[in-house]
Amino acid sequence: MKKLWGLAILSLLVFTVACGEQSSGTTESDGEWKPDGNIEIVAPGGAGGGWDTTARSVGKVLEDQEIVENDVAVVNKPGGGGAVGWSYINSTNSPENIFVSSPPLIFVPLNGQSDLSYEDFTPLSNMIADYGAFAVADDAKWNNLNELFEDMKADPSSVTVVGASSPGSMDHMQFVKVAKAAGVDIQKIKYVSAQDGGALTQILNGSADVYSTGVAETIEQVKAGKIKVLGVTSEERLEGEVLSTFETAKEQGIDTTFVNWRGFFGPKDMSPEAVAYYEEKFKEVSESHAFADIRSKYGWDEMYMDSEAYKEFLKEQTEELGSLLEELGLGK
Amino acid sequence: MGALDGLMQGFQVAFSWEGILFVLIGVVTGTLIGMMPGLGPISAIAIMIPVTYGMNPSSALVMMAGVYYGAVFGGSTSSILLNAPGISGTVATSFDGYPMAQRGEAGKALAVAAISSFIGGTVSVVLLMLFAPALASVAISFGPPEYFALMFLGLTAISSLSDGSTVKALISATLGFMAATIGIDAQTGTNRFTFGNPNLMEGIDFLVIALGLFALAEVCFLILNRKDKSLSKQSDIGNLKLSRDDFKEMKGPMTRQSFLGFLLGVLPGAGATIASFIGYITEKRITKKPEEFGKGSIKGLSAPETANNAATSGAFVPLLSLGIPGSGTTAVMLGAFLVMGIQPGPLLVQDRPDVFWGIIASMYIGNVFLLILNLPLIPYIAKILKISRPLLISLVIIFSLIGVYSISFSTFDLYLLLAFGLLGYLMRLFSFPAAPFILAFILGGMMEQALRQALTASGGSLLVLVEDPISVGLLAVSFLSFIVPFIRKKREDNKQNQDAA
């Protein structure tokens, strides 16, 4: 029995030590910047989520392809829709500690849930793009977005939209954005948030009508003939066995898109050398075959942006989404 | 391919030496991790994911499944011996398990838990085998109004979880409801009671409250009453052998809760926790001696233990046949599937029958392993209680802290844990029961979300709650279970009065 407890304590110690590593400090020599010790990528959400998957797959390519010499550790800092991870980066303020983010970095501050926004960090590189999909039960009366929006224009409250995120965040706003472009009164849209797989359940049993989610989440259910996808938010048709059958909103005459971008950020005051270092490394990852395989496995699109282009992009996104939230009365 | 062929293929996977080996590794790891207070199936599965890289998918998933139900199986140990439930599914286990251990019957309590778990696990696997594809429709039969009604039924347990003052139980439950509202509200995105602290935005983790109110409160109590001789009996392990009468006691709860627990497990979001609570109250309602519940009743221990293990197998129905993870644990499992390149969903049974049926078949073997491994180990495990009191107390504190930290990696949660420990001790001191608090916390959050989802969809009309026969039925049962004890009590009073006269 003593052995058992010993083993237990030992395994726990290993576990906690492995999770608690931290790096600090920088070294600089004639203009070239190199990280000192481990590079720590923070995923501001739990294991298995979108941020976690992106951080781990990029981290794996960085290490396996020997793009960086240092060890890359992925650390989960879940909480507050990302806010806990952001305040961690903000307080550690070390160029070896970077984090992965996506549109919530814009939504959460706009909703007033965090004081930190993208302006408090250094955008390093964007890596990938993912898109939203709007699905309904297979036996629903609508066959495309226009049919759905015709009904919603007549009576917006006749349709219930369900998604995993809370109002004012991704699943809600991607639908609002497309619905607005189609001419629906967005203030009257009924949106329900359901966690733990509840959103899909509600579509399958008819409690809700439209499922606003990421494209990857719909593939298996479409294949099985349980749901149908009315439209996706990408600029062009997606590639892939099932994905290529999804019509974009644009093809259906609704002139708008929504990108679920994912990229990396560092603390606010990073030296230009450090930024250049990460830009170069992430570009290498983005162009590698290993990462191309990962992209196709998860159905992501390539969308590399360097620090400057990224900053510009984020500014536009903030303005656009900010005015939408304002109109919904959710902006703070 | 018919289900029978698939099942045969599944047994081939499960009975190959590789299958058996990985099931064994899975269940052993699972029970060991599950036994530690604070570590439950989520941590167990997360720890195992990196181990499975590069393994054959069906062996890897058979092992992960083993870790999952192994952890639920082992989870009862810390509830019974230390009053430190590691997962929400074993909170109800501590209601009668811990009093039994305190009475000097720790060995017996562990044996009852192991056998009940085995029966619950095995019966439910048989049900899973026979009905998994067909049950997919049951899994989605619950919409928000039905969930609301189910949680409502669960809450009627509050009145039956109090031995003393009902008012105190209700106050405790109200505090639980209040704690459940902390965090970002999912239906509006508004911060509630977070006071600008990002650590509170995600709400308070269940484990923080359970370990605070149960484990740390108990530790405080033990430290402050260390001179009390009546507590020393606790280190007695007692006889492990169950008598024929004990089996007779267990028979009813085990049969009923295997089925009920499985059905509740099938519902996404309900799972082992609700199954164990509902199992506990239904048995308390049915039994002729409800006054024994909460004081170390075998029935009261057997019911939640059967139900939570049955629900664990049930949770595989939405996961495997719909691709819907019904809980945090199955969501991590889903992640593990995706890492292996396997997409659970309606097509899994056709595309990868080896995986689908392999997991189901392996669970049968896994449950047998768990019983064989656990029964002989009980005397050794129960010896934990022989560890000298100061050392044991420090161990419980350390494990509680590690368990909480390993979930959030946040020191803030450690302070919260201590705060709840203090609250739990104060509640005990003034004899407020902790069980209603935790029940209200678990069910209250889900009930609120379900109610608001239902009302949003209906445009605010309350009629939506009574439009469906399932929700009407559940609400009717709730009201009955609320009223019947009053009527019964009145009758008894009358009778007593008559006798007195």
What ipTM does this complex have? 0.80
Could A79 and B341 be called an inter-chain contact, meaning their C-beta atoms sit closer than 8 Å? no
A298-309 pLDDT per residue, tens: 778 899 999 999
Strand A210-214 and strand A121-137: the pairing is antiparallel
Lowest mean pLDDT, pick from A126-130, B91-95, B236-240: B236-240
Closest chain A residue by Cα to residue B146: A207
Q: Are residues A236 and A280 in the same domain?
A: no
Sign of CA dihedral B433, B439, B444, B445: positive
- Backbone angles phi and psi of A83, in degrees to 5: -60, -35
pLDDT at position B237 = 67
Could A207 and B457 be called an inter-chain contact, meaning their C-beta atoms sit closer than 8 Å? yes
A221-256 pLDDT per residue, tens: 898 899 999 999 999 998 888 889 999 999 999 999
- What's the CA gap between B327 and B388, in Å, rounded? 38
Radius of gyration of chain A (CA): 21
Mutation to test the B interface, candidates A86, A97, A193, A217, most B Cβ within 10 Å: A193
Could A193 and B186 be called an inter-chain contact, meaning their C-beta atoms sit closer than 8 Å? yes
Alpha carbon separation from A162 to A144, A175, A308, B239, B388 (Å, rounded)? 17, 10, 36, 55, 54
pLDDT at position A176 = 94
- What's the CA gap between B235 and B391, in Å, rounded? 13
CB-based contact, B164 to chain A, within 8 Å:
no
Q: Are residues A95 and A61 in the same domain?
A: yes
Which DSSP helix (H) or strand (E) runs through B60? helix B57-82
The DSSP secondary-structure symbol of A37 reads S
Could B189 and A113 be called an inter-chain contact, meaning their C-beta atoms sit closer than 8 Å? yes
Which residues of chain B does A219 touch, with a Cβ-Cβ cutoff of 8 Å?
A: 343
| A46 pLDDT above the threshold of 50 | yes
Closest CA of chain A from B204, distance in Å: 10
Could B184 and A16 be called an inter-chain contact, meaning their C-beta atoms sit closer than 8 Å? no
Length of chain A: 332
CB-based contact, B481 to chain A, within 8 Å:
no
Could A200 and B324 be called an inter-chain contact, meaning their C-beta atoms sit closer than 8 Å? yes
Domain range for B73: 3-500
Alpha carbon separation from A48 to A105, A212, A265, B396 (Å, rounded)? 19, 20, 20, 30
Lowest mean pLDDT, pick from A25-29, A138-142, A265-269, B325-329: A25-29
pLDDT band, residue A20 (cuts 50/70/90): very low
Strand B183-184 and strand A160-163: the pairing is unpaired
**Number of domains forming the structure of chain B:** 1
Is A85 part of any domain? yes
Q: Which residue has the tokens 């870790």?
A: B67
The DSSP secondary-structure symbol of B325 reads -
Q: Are residues A49 and A80 in the same domain?
A: yes
Which residues of chain A does B402 touch, with a Cβ-Cβ cutoff of 8 Å?
A: 12, 16
CB-based contact, B468 to chain A, within 8 Å:
no
Token pair belonging to B40: 């439950």
**Number of domains forming the structure of chain A:** 2
Domain range for A58: 34-129+261-328
Is A5 part of any domain? no
Closest CA of chain B from A31, distance in Å: 36
Is A22 part of any domain? no
The CATH number of the domain where A43 resides is what? 3.40.190.150
Q: Are residues A57 and A135 in the same domain?
A: no
B441-467 pLDDT per residue, tens: 988 888 999 999 999 888 888 888 988
Give the closest of B331, B380, B459 to A1, CB-based: B380
B39-76 pLDDT per residue, tens: 778 778 877 877 777 788 888 889 999 999 898 888 88
Is A204 part of any domain? yes
- What's the CA gap between B179 and B192, in Å, rounded? 10
Q: Are residues A57 and A144 in the same domain?
A: no
Is A323 part of any domain? yes
Within 110-149 of B, beta carbons closer than 8 Å to A belong to 139-144
CB-based contact, B394 to chain A, within 8 Å:
no
Q: pTM for the full model?
A: 0.83
- What's the CA gap between A235 and A212, in Å, rounded? 17
Mutation to test the B interface, candidates A42, A201, A209, most B Cβ within 10 Å: A201
A161-206 pLDDT per residue, tens: 999 888 888 899 999 999 999 999 999 999 999 877 788 889 998 9
- What's the CA gap between B220 and B226, in Å, rounded? 10
Q: What is the interface size between A and B, counted as CB pairs within 8 Å?
A: 160
Q: Are residues A124 and A146 in the same domain?
A: no
B368-422 pLDDT per residue, tens: 999 998 888 888 888 887 888 888 888 889 888 988 887 777 889 999 999 999 9
| A316 pLDDT above the threshold of 90 | yes
Could A197 and B325 be called an inter-chain contact, meaning their C-beta atoms sit closer than 8 Å? yes
Q: Are residues A135 and A240 in the same domain?
A: yes
Is A274 part of any domain? yes
Closest CA of chain A from B413, distance in Å: 11
Q: Are residues A177 and A223 in the same domain?
A: yes
Give the closest of A78, A193, A200 to B202, CB-based: A78
Is A213 part of any domain? yes
Q: Is the Cβ–Cβ distance between B107 and B239 less than 8 Å?
A: yes
Give the closest of B36, B187, B323 to A193, CB-based: B187
Domain end residue (candidates: A220, A245, A270): A245
The CATH number of the domain where A233 resides is what? 3.40.190.10
User: B468 by DSSP, 3-state: which?
Assistant: coil
Mutation to test the A interface, candidates B35, B146, B187, B193, most A Cβ within 10 Å: B187
Tell me the average pLDDT across B131-142. Answer: 81
- Backbone angles phi and psi of A68, in degrees to 5: -115, 155
